Amino acid sequence: MSHLLITGASQLLTLRGRAPRRGKALSDLGMLRDGALLIRDGLIAAVGARPEIESLPESRSAEKIDVGGRVVLPGVVDSHTHLIHAASRAEEYELKIAGASYEEIARKGGGILNSVKKLRAATADALKRRAHAALREFAAHGTTTLEAKSGYGLDVASELKILRLHKELSAEQALEIVSTFLGAHVVPAEYRRKPRGTEQYIALLTDELIPEVAAEKLAEFCDVFCDRGAFSRKDSKKILEAGKKHGLAPRVHAEQLTRTGATQLAVQLGAASCDHLEQVSKADIRALAESNTVATLLPGCDFHLGLKQYAPARALIDAGAVVALATDYNPGTSPTMSMPMILSLACTQLRMSPAEAIAAATINTAYSLRREKQIGSIETGKQADLAVFDVEDYREIPYYFGVNKCWMTLKKGRPVFQKAHT
Ligand SMILES: [Zn+2]
């Protein structure tokens, strides 16, 4: 049996108590000053005031880490990423700055289809190398669990290649990867040229790919990009219902570029999460507030695209929706692995308080991945997933931006990142 005692936290943010967090409870961090925790075999054995934890018999023989007056919080949970892709889209970044819209670029063969072309041509080894490098960056910014979507393959072999890589990557490194099938990202080019191509592609998803993904246990969730230029609300319903039938819980890309009604569809289907939400209506906000579907906001997208309309976070929180935050790490609209940067954007652009942003990126994202019993807070019996930031006050985590203040990241009680001494 191995024991690890962690002391010296100026603030220990436990996030203990009810999950998920809504309304006023979102800013409840369950903070302990000079708190400590004892880890046994990768799980949290005890957490509380330092003298109490230090006096436990197991603490005496435990290995010890003194974090030197820094802030300790649960490992960050990033509930929306497109981890596996072949290359950046820096050329489109430059076009966008010059004034081209996301949809104009897509019509010229750029956008998602550009990434699809590159992914199909890439070897599994090259994709894996790139993903490993990204995972090291995620760990270096305090993330201990992340969701990863397929969706740049869009044919049977390439989608399965991505999902199998999620599994291999999970086995080869410490961060936990939660796999989502996003065959319904857009209709691939070869189907766009055919009459009734969209219908045929949807049939490929519902009759062939979804059953195969479920049979091989390659994903827990099924996602759809429901928007102009992607899938309609009606098509999305068909795909998500097929996923549900095979045990894949729905997640939805909703109301990003246009309002399609995807949010209300997500609520009706009992989706785990509904993501983006820049264009939601008042009725959509009400529907989310009355449901257990998590409203996941992705401000990195709006920031990277230079868009002015962010999701109405305040209205969602005040109405009582379960609000969460994620990077949407992807090569086209949000090339970042930094959840601290997302917290900064949540504070300045979404007007969330630092405490709300932290809860939205830990316990609420854990809930959206249906893992709130294992991760997302520092409580007895949970995994010892921790992020330590080189600040004295938790508000300094979003306050600093564009610099990485993460000092140490632990997954199941083991350091997976430690800042080099400077
Ligand atoms: Zn996305």
- pLDDT at 106 (0 to 100): 79
320: left (phi over 0), alpha (psi -120 to 50) or beta: left
For the chain, what percentages of helix, strand and coil (3-state, to nearest 5) are there?
A: 40, 25, 35
Quick one: pLDDT band at residue 422, thresholds 50, 70, 90? low
Expressed in angstroms and rounded, the spacing between residue 334 Cα and the centre of ligand 1 is 9
339, burial (CB in 10 Å: exposed 0-12, middle 13-18, buried 19+):
buried
CA 172 distance to own-chain centroid: 20
The DSSP call for residue 204 is I
CB within 8 A of 89, min separation 6: which ones?
110, 114, 115, 331, 332
Neighbours of ion ligand 1 (CB under 5 A): 328
Expressed in angstroms and rounded, the spacing between residue 150 Cα and the centre of ligand 1 is 10
Expressed in angstroms and rounded, the spacing between residue 80 Cα and the centre of ligand 1 is 6
CA distance 267 to 199: 24
CA distance 161 to 157: 6
Alpha-carbon dihedral sign for residues 356, 362, 366, 369: positive
C-alpha closest to that of 337 among 144, 173, 159? 144
- pLDDT at 48 (0 to 100): 97
SS3 of 250, please?
A: strand
The residue-averaged pLDDT of 328-352 equals 98
Q: What global pTM score does this model have?
A: 0.97
pLDDT tens-digit readout, 278-329: 999 999 999 999 999 999 999 999 999 999 999 999 999 999 999 999 999 9
159, 153 contact by CB (below 8 A): yes
pLDDT tens-digit readout, 172-206: 999 999 999 999 999 999 999 999 999 999 999 99
pLDDT tens-digit readout, 211-228: 999 999 999 999 999 999
Expressed in angstroms and rounded, the spacing between residue 81 Cα and the centre of ligand 1 is 6
Expressed in angstroms and rounded, the spacing between residue 42 Cα and the centre of ligand 1 is 31
Expressed in angstroms and rounded, the spacing between residue 185 Cα and the centre of ligand 1 is 9
* Residues, the chain: 422
Expressed in angstroms and rounded, the spacing between residue 253 Cα and the centre of ligand 1 is 6
Alpha-carbon dihedral sign for residues 86, 90, 93, 94: negative
Which 3-state string (H, E, C) describes 319-377? HCCCEEECCCEECCCECCCCHHHHHHHHHHCCCCCHHHHHHHCCHHHHHHCCCCCCCCC
The DSSP call for residue 27 is G
Quick one: pLDDT band at residue 110, thresholds 50, 70, 90? confident
Q: Which two tokens stand for residue 17?
A: 């108590």
In which residue are the tokens 């195969």 written?
212
186, 225 contact by CB (below 8 A): yes
Quick one: pLDDT band at residue 273, thresholds 50, 70, 90? very high
Expressed in angstroms and rounded, the spacing between residue 254 Cα and the centre of ligand 1 is 10
- pLDDT at 109 (0 to 100): 78
pLDDT tens-digit readout, 227-252: 998 999 999 999 999 999 999 999 99
Expressed in angstroms and rounded, the spacing between residue 268 Cα and the centre of ligand 1 is 21
Q: Which two tokens stand for residue 374?
A: 């294992």
Expressed in angstroms and rounded, the spacing between residue 328 Cα and the centre of ligand 1 is 5
Expressed in angstroms and rounded, the spacing between residue 41 Cα and the centre of ligand 1 is 35
Q: What angle do CA 358, 56, 362 make, to 5 degrees?
A: 10
- Whether pLDDT at 421 is above 80: no
Expressed in angstroms and rounded, the spacing between residue 380 Cα and the centre of ligand 1 is 33
- pLDDT at 49 (0 to 100): 96
- pLDDT at 101 (0 to 100): 85
Q: Which two tokens stand for residue 113?
A: 């289809």
The DSSP call for residue 382 is S
Q: What amino acid is encoded at 131 in this protein?
A: A
C-alpha closest to that of 198 among 161, 159, 238, 162? 238
The residue-averaged pLDDT of 18-35 equals 97
Expressed in angstroms and rounded, the spacing between residue 319 Cα and the centre of ligand 1 is 24
CA distance 227 to 112: 13
The residue-averaged pLDDT of 120-128 equals 97
Expressed in angstroms and rounded, the spacing between residue 396 Cα and the centre of ligand 1 is 28
User: How many other C-beta atoms can be found within 10 angstroms of the C-beta atom of residue 210?
Assistant: 25
Expressed in angstroms and rounded, the spacing between residue 39 Cα and the centre of ligand 1 is 35
Quick one: pLDDT band at residue 36, thresholds 50, 70, 90? very high
CA distance 126 to 352: 39
